[in-house]
Chains A and B, each alone.
Chain A
Amino acid sequence: MEQRAGKPDDTFAELGLAALLPKDAIEELLSAALSRGGDFAEVYIQRSKSTSIPLEERKIRSAEMRVGQGVGIRVLSGEKTGYAYSDRLDMGSLLESARTAAYIAAGPSVERPVNVTAQLAPDYYTVRVDPASYPVAEKISLVKRANKAAYAYDHRIKQVDVSFSDIEREIIVANSDGLWIGDLQTMVRIRVSCLAAQKGISRTGSYGGGGRIGMEWFDRVSPEDVAREAARVAVVQLDAVPAPAGCMPVVIKNAWGGVLLHEAVGHGLEADFIRKGMSIYTGRVGEKVAADVCTLVDDGTVPNARGTINIDDEGTPGQRNVLVENGVLKGYMTDRLNGKLLGLPLTGNGRRQSYHDYPIPRMTCFFMEAGDSDPEEIVKSVDRGVYAAYFSGGQVDITNGNFTFSITEGYLIENGKLTAPIRGATLVGNGPDILTKITMVGSDRALDPGIGDCGKAGQAVPTTVGMPTVKVSEMTVGGTATE
């Protein structure tokens, strides 16, 4: 697979693809998968290799390495999906999986030869320093540097956990439409969590970063930068007061704030919920669903972002899709099954966690485009409210649009100024409702630092969120301090 992308030579492409499973074997499997009828068959091959290095209490707790491989075979027949997978790559086991998946079509036995042709994927994540061949001792040194910087930040930092991980995931997708394509996906990630303590009070802060990139990520952001940010949040929290309870204006800081839109809108635009009529956004393309200032994009092509994909897990190239433009709903995020059933184009959002799972529509890098307000002016415009800087993740109920997310760093806004840090706050709202209450959009659009995963139907996939600083005119803040 080394010759994968960026080299416009079909022979090279085919050599890389065939290394895991030769062309004739793939074609035989696809034929076997269609042996009971079926509209479409797909073979998904995955091989992965990862390293992780956790540090706790100033010690490298362990050095860890994981390898895995497997094949998933899918057959579509109308709205039905048959799926089987195996971690054995011998032809006997694979043919058995193909026949198991074929069962869904339940028709009489048919012969359907399949021919696949190698294709090249685009390349949105060049890797300069391959983590797989980078010395373990050097990775350990990055982890230790982060640990040292966190303790050095403030004497009140009492505990530091650091973890580094890298993964190299190789995927190959072939289907009965003749597609045969592959991708090599490399990711690095570092996380630091700190505990600050003073006078019997303990608070935490965490931060991290990474992307679909090699070890050169650390040329952009040092382990010390990551550690100091985690330590800063923990120390700030020592002075935190209980968060207020009730409805009030909320200013959401750029970058991580995109979690808000990921939950409030993003999931509701995934085509499986649309096809089943389960999403509140079903049948609303062309309608005004948000304030004029809102333009929302899912972009699988952002260079080296964690959520970016050269191809999705069905072999469709990553794309930039404008979903809401100036408040008007433009489209949905599709996978093959739901795109076909809805008569919509493929958008490159068919993703899966591993060969254990069939693909479903998922976000890649989902963000809001910049507006023209000065972020400082946005804060100044609020008399009394909450400023939310970092979040620990959120959740949404697609059917009614209600969502929630938790603030890990936030402040009171009093008379246009940030005052006391707050703790223990969750924000709740309703997606369609919040979209009409976004009254100011900042000029400072940014993406999160690259450590996020999104969970849906038990599958976690790497995603990126992003946003400029925005003001929501009214939102429920779930603290304990009532007036």
Chain B
Amino acid sequence: MDYQQLAQDVVSAAMRAGADEAEVYLQTGDEFDVNVRLGEVETLTQAGAKGLGLRVFVDKRMAFASTTDFDGDVINDMVKTTVQLARSASRDRYNGLPDPGSGPGRPGPVPHLDLYDRTIADLTTAEKIEMARESEAAAFEFDRRITNSYGASFSNSSGMSIIANSNGILYTNSSTRCGIGCAPLAEEDGSKEVGSYGSVRRFLRQLESPESVGREAAGRAVRKLGARKVETQKVPVVFEWSVAPILWGAVFSALDGDNIHRGMSFLKKKLNKRVGSHLVTLIDDPLMPSGIGSMPFDGEGVLTRCKVVVDEGILKMHFYDARTARKYGAQPTGNARRGYSGIPSVGPTNFYLRQTDVSPEEIIRGISNGFYVTETMGHGVSVVTGDFSVGASGMWIKDGELAYPVHEVTIAGNMLDMMQNVEQVANDAKFMSLVVSPTFKITEMTVSGR
């Protein structure tokens, strides 16, 4: 089936049915996933899927529908129903596709971002199983205290997204992704701890080796053994790179222009003001070659660009989609993210804290009594108030060294204070998720324990 043609046909059908503006977002994809446990294949999943989402505007009223069934009659019915449905929504003069003409919705050339690895398709199932096996085996070899395992996995997927709209936009983007993960269990003196680690990339050649993933996971399990609770106290807290994105993810949501202008953000009324220490430079870069969050165009068909969001502590911008940009007199920032089954909403692409040349070891060496956090738990982060309180585990820092494991405590503070108290930033960012951060140190937070 010619999916580009289908997307355009559905847009045309919606216009004929009475829409003033119409947009189709179509996705197809294949996925493979194998999990090996104790050396044997435990689960193997292989499948393909597709879906189409239609957004229409009638008299500045919006409706949306999605389907996984591309049968002609099903789609015809859906188009008619959606146009009907739009009449029941509220009129909002800011509604509509990104402005065409000379606006952000004008068609343009789609940059090539190197997001598709053709070599993944050449891997046999046996080779994928072997990688998962090697990873788990490396975990068991790492330490005799590794006694059990949740398993190790290899997965890969490929996908294509097409956006077509009634302003003449027709863009296609294809991408791949592959990953190795491992979750061994360590045991000693009745203490049982799981450690997990994974590597995710767009290209096979960028993936960490199965052995290094296994060893890293095993190291994470073993170092948790014998964890204890500490006294309640205020100390310097270091967020390891693996948990550091928790802060910047909340900051991103707080910078959604809609939240800012509705008074639902702890970062409201801070544009061009200091919100962080001079070490806080935050960048959203959708054009990073082979980046996990990279995308040449966003979920509304706006071509994307790299933005410095916070520059050495000074807030430079908010994020907008087409509607919120019109409403608040701004430009869309190319951050509309979506799947076929949802309407676009503002989200991060490759959103990261800029790293420095300091190593995490140097940061730890400078702390006489503090907490090195390697895992956080729970949902105690409020974008509205800035309150931050989560369960945490990790290592206690004593005299510049990681002394012993700690668990069953919480760390709490206010996010604006935390940003302003970012005292050191390390050099160890790993670009494996949409929000990325190197390890960093906050001058002081409340650790609650015994």
Q: Interface residues, chain A, CB within 8 Å of chain B?
A: 57-70, 79-87, 97, 100, 103-104, 136-137, 140, 158-159, 195, 197, 202-204, 243, 245-247, 276-278, 280, 356, 358, 392-400, 402-406, 423-426, 428-430, 476-480, 482
Contact = CB atoms under 8 A, between A and B. Distances in A.
B200 to A, nearest CB: 14
B325 to A, nearest CB: 16
Nearest to B227: A400
A48 to B, nearest CB: 10
Nearest to B387: A424
Interface stretch (B4-12, B309-317, B377-385): B377-385
A85 B446 contact: no
A480 B389 contact: yes
Contacts of B78: 65, 67
B49 A85 contact: yes
28 contacts: A60-B90, A62-B64, A64-B65, A67-B74, A70-B68, A81-B43, A83-B45, A87-B49, A103-B125, A104-B41, A159-B262, A204-B382, A356-B49, A393-B379, A394-B378, A395-B391, A397-B194, A398-B194, A399-B192, A399-B193, A402-B393, A403-B377, A403-B391, A424-B389, A426-B380, A426-B412, A476-B409, A480-B413
B378 A426 contact: yes
A480 B227 CA distance: 23
Query: Which of A195, A356, A393, A397 counts the most B-chain CB atoms under 10 A from its CB?
Result: A397
B391 A402 contact: yes
Contacts of B378: 393-395, 404-406, 426, 428
B111 interface: no
Q: Which of B380, B387, B446 has the most CB of A within 10 A?
A: B380
A392 B385 contact: no
B448 A245 contact: yes
A480 B389 CA distance: 8
Interface in B432-450: 446, 448-450
Interface string B379-407: 11010110111110100000000000001
A100 B46 CA distance: 7
B42 A81 contact: yes
Contacts of A425: 380, 389
Contact of B264 (A62, A195, A402): A195
Nearest to A396: B377
Contacts of A246: 232, 448-450
Contacts, number: 249
B47 A356 contact: yes
A394 B380 CA distance: 9
Contact of A424 (B148, B233, B388): B388
B66 A66 contact: yes
B81 interface: yes
Interface residues of B, number: 77
Interface of B: 37, 40-51, 62-69, 74, 78, 81-82, 85-86, 88-92, 125, 148, 150, 185, 191-194, 224, 227, 229, 232-234, 262-264, 341, 343, 375, 377-380, 382, 384-385, 387-391, 393, 407-414, 446, 448-450
A358 B63 CA distance: 33
Contacts of B90: 58-61
Contact of B43 (A64, A358, A396, A479): A358
Contacts of A429: 408
A95 B86 CA distance: 39
B85 A65 contact: yes
A160 B76 CA distance: 35
Contacts of B229: 476
A202 B384 contact: yes
A202 B227 CA distance: 38
B44 A136 contact: no
Q: Is the interface of B mostly helix, strand, loop or mixed?
A: strand
B450 A247 contact: yes
Contacts of A86: 47-49
Given A63-B85, A67-B69, A404 B391 contact: yes
B64 A79 contact: no
Contacts of B448: 245-246, 476-479
A69 B68 contact: yes
User: Which one of B48, B92, B412 has the highest number of Cβ atoms from chain A below 10 Å of its Cβ?
Assistant: B412
Given A424-B385, A479-B446, A80 B65 contact: no
Given A358-B45, A399-B192, A428-B408, A476 B449 contact: yes
Given A202-B385, A424-B387, A62 B343 contact: yes
B262 A430 contact: no
A68 B446 contact: no
Closest 7 CB pairs of A and B: A478-B410, A404-B391, A424-B387, A59-B90, A404-B378, A245-B448, A406-B380
Contact of A83 (B44, B192, B194, B412): B44
A283 B376 CA distance: 29
A476 B48 contact: no
Contacts of B446: 245, 478-480, 482
A482 B410 CA distance: 13
A344 B78 CA distance: 46
B43 A80 contact: yes
Contacts of B341: 66, 68
Given A82-B44, A97-B47, A397-B377, A428 B69 contact: no
A52 to B, nearest CB: 9
B248 to A, nearest CB: 19
Contact of A203 (B51, B150, B385, B389): B385
A448 B255 CA distance: 33
Contacts of B85: 63-65, 136
A247 to B, nearest CB: 6
Contacts of A159: 262-264
